[in-house]
Structure 1
């Protein structure tokens, strides 16, 4: 074991990335509210000085904007890309979409984040606009799946809205019913959504 040389610099600590700050901010958003997402609180949580925040962000608004962009990308763009990469049939894709709220810890974390974003959007018009864009993009994507199954445009949109509403409801009401009851609800929804009138 070597002795430290007097006057030598201490080993460099791992540098925090912008993603570290964004993840910490997201955790505060979920556990408290957007009001708790403050530079001093984050610095304390991460065990660093406030100055290190400014290596990555201009100010708190910059952090909030980038956190929102990160969520939009993860919650919509990346999920759609993952689905498209798998080359599922439209019917299998709808089946898969119906199972999203039941995918363990990652689904619970995603639902908690989304609920926090939706609460934030009630108070901030900029966040509301991003959320509206996300909802519209998701609904459009699911509508295309129903159109590919032969449903007319209006019918495809209505069925997409019903599927999307179901997913949001299961996330909101995640403690309602046991696994068997949740599976029954999902099966009923799938039958209703895929059966032509």
Structure 2
């Protein structure tokens, strides 16, 4: 039986290319995310890529925008829709870095994109925008608990730094150590919150 040709593969979507580019970014760095490498890994011709993207820069921009949408815009929209209390949300965010395989995958993408942003202006702008949006949302949550604006801003920054740090140092400490850290951080950040706030 003859081997299948590249053209016999099911049609690929832009999301397929973005997903594969993300995997290469995690495994090797932005330098490895090249059209020829992607086409070879996906067992298709380069022409398939150009059906969806103008060039490599177009793909990279869409990788960044996809990350921004999935890991910030959609998550914030979901939290708003759920209508959870500000306190419950903050406690959940303290736990977020420990949400199993999904959290590990998310942090791997995040670290790879942040490494990319240290050397690339386009990536840096998107990362800065993501950080600003997340921090503004966290500040709003602390404000809803009755903290004055400067206090809410400082607590939002501390929570965000904690979440990023747990991703960086996820192998540090036992399960009990991590549990104690989470409890300590939640108690510290929520100390002084006004009762009865949403």
- Fold-level similarity (TM above 0.5): yes
Equivalent position of 1:56 in the other structure = 52
Q: Give TM-score scaled by structure 1 length.
A: 0.93
CA distance in 2, matches of 1:110, 1:59: 26
User: Structure 2 regions of 5+ residues with no counterpart?
Assistant: 1-6, 194-198
Q: What's 1:78 paired with?
A: 74
Correspondence 1:110 to 2:94: no
1:35 to 13, 31, 38: 31
Q: CA RMSD of the aligned region, Å?
A: 1.2
1:83-162 to structure 2, matched below 5 A, reads 83-162=79-158
Distance 1:119 1:81 in 2: 27
- Runs of 4+ in structure 1 off by over 3 angstroms are none
Cα distance in structure 2, aligned partners of 1:126 and 1:40: 22
Greater C-alpha radius of gyration:
1
1:150-174 deviation line (CA, Å, top 9, x unaligned): 0000000000000000000000001
1:193 corresponds to: 189
How many residues of Structure 1 are paired with residues of Structure 2 in the alignment?
187
Q: Equivalent residue of 1:16, what SS?
A: coil
TM-score, normalised by the number of residues in structure 2: 0.92
